[in-house]
Amino acid sequence: MLLTPVEVLPATEVGPVHFIAAGGSGMSGIARLYAELGIRTTGSDQSDSTALRSLERVGVRVYVGHDASQVADDVRTVVISSAVRETNVELAEARRRGLRVWHRSTALAALMIGKDGISIAGTHGKTTTTAMTAVMLGEAGADPSYVIGGPLSTTGVSSAVGQGEAFVVEADESDASFLQYPTKIAVITNVEADHLVNWGTPEAYADGFHAFATGPTVETVVINVDDHGSRSLAERLVAEGRRVVTYGEAADADVRFHDVLPTPTGAEATITYGDDSGPLRLRVPGNHNLANASAAYAVGRSLGLGHEACVDALGRFDGTLRRFQLITDTAGIRVYDDYAHHPTEIRAALSAARRATEAGNEATGLRGRLIACFQPHLYSRTLDFADEFGEVLKLADVAVINDIDGAREDPVPGVTGELVVEAAERHGVREIHYVKEKYDLPDALNELARPGDLVITLGCGDVTIVGPLLAKLLQERA
């Protein structure tokens, strides 16, 4: 279902506020900001989590489980995500009482009123690019507000209220949320068909990005020209007379990174914009992260920051949780966790992991392998992309495939992780293991891994539990 933008009031005028599914990655950061602004904030979720506990520490009254009584008598606004169904008892109570019910994107837009909105969208790379932009602006002294789809690795939080003019947000296209935000600078990392259960066709999906880039408040569009979909959109926007700043490795990019040099724990390149050129050194690996950093750099320059301020600040970015996050380096085995769940994202993560594996082999003299542990996410996505998942897993030496994390979807007969296994076999993946139960994955990976190997868990579901459990097994080995 696609959302239609609605009228927004300033956040200070809508409280007290209750968040349903407050522990979600998109919800917890917004709830935190309402509490930090002094607005009485409550929240509930079906299960306990570190996100709920983190909200509790900043003054949010949190509940585990759903009950109509948790929507207090003085609540004026209830905030939901797209995953909350109308049958939810708290939402039903809000409807019964005629309370204001906002989608989380509306609640976030209310926080952005009066700020310079920087909305970062794209099929892939949104979280890291948003995080890089927020960290860069903070390190450069701009003190931005921000809401990111994942916590920063250095602070463990995904949002903050700053005193500066910039408000940086991760803009979700899956349900057209990105059309709600008062955006001044629109960033588009790529446009590759996804979420067609909502959008219907690739053409409609691409048109959604055009609507985002041409919103009534947008002054500048920062856009990747290495990706076919976003390059086509950039050409369309230029023809329409829009102000566009392009970035990428392409020779015609306004902000161009080139002369790439992988390192065991990061990446280096030269970044050039007009007459300014110099080294960009990142603590996170992969060409995709150099591209993400180039987008952030373009935002910084559009806001008036200098070249040195931007590259120095980007060099201090340490990543976000679940984006090529190092879990452990124990017994000669490195274990990473990554949120990648679309074939293009998996390709980027495995390409970076392959370079890190080769750099590690060169440094140690071992012949380590790349072991990819993939948990498909959503039955619809698995059905749409099973063949592509199987093909991209060829980048690994060993593929360990889990069953599907269905999340918000009901099971579909015949759609299981075995579809990915069959596709991987067709595409000639060298070694394949199907481990149906996720709690069996740590033991399976421990048995497979040997010194010099790099193990990476992939998926946006609960496969994230596997790395820490594997780390404990490796510690016993060590």
Q: Which residues are annotated as a binding site for ATP?
A: 122-128
Q: Which of 15, 36, 170 is nearest to 79 (CA)?
A: 15
Closest CA to 404 of 388, 415, 391, 393: 415
Q: Which one of 126, 129, 220, 457 is the catalytic residue?
A: 126
DSSP for 352-364? HHHHHHHHHHHHH
- 345 torsion bin: left (phi>0), alpha (psi -120 to 50), beta (else): alpha
- For residue 126, indicate whether it is catalytic: yes
Q: Choosing from 170, 173, 345, 391, which is the catalytic residue?
A: 170
Q: Are 325 and 153 in contact (CB under 8 A)?
A: yes
Output the known binding site.
Answer: 122-128
Cis amide leading into 16 (omega within 30): yes
In order of 43, 81, 106, 282, 412, the CA distances from 387 in angstroms are 40, 30, 37, 33, 17
C-alpha 336/C-alpha 210 separation (Å) is: 35
How many of the other CB atoms lie within 10 Å of CB of 202? 14
Who's near 129: CB < 8 A, 6+ residues apart?
A: 120, 122, 187, 189, 292, 295, 296
Distance (Å, whole) CA 358 – CA 347:
16
Structure tokens at 403: 């069953």
Q: Active site includes 127?
A: yes
147 within 8 A of 159, measured Cβ to Cβ: yes
Catalytic residue from among 41, 127, 189, 344: 127
What token pair was written down for 99?
């309370």
- Note if 394 is an active site residue: no
Active site residues: 126-127, 170
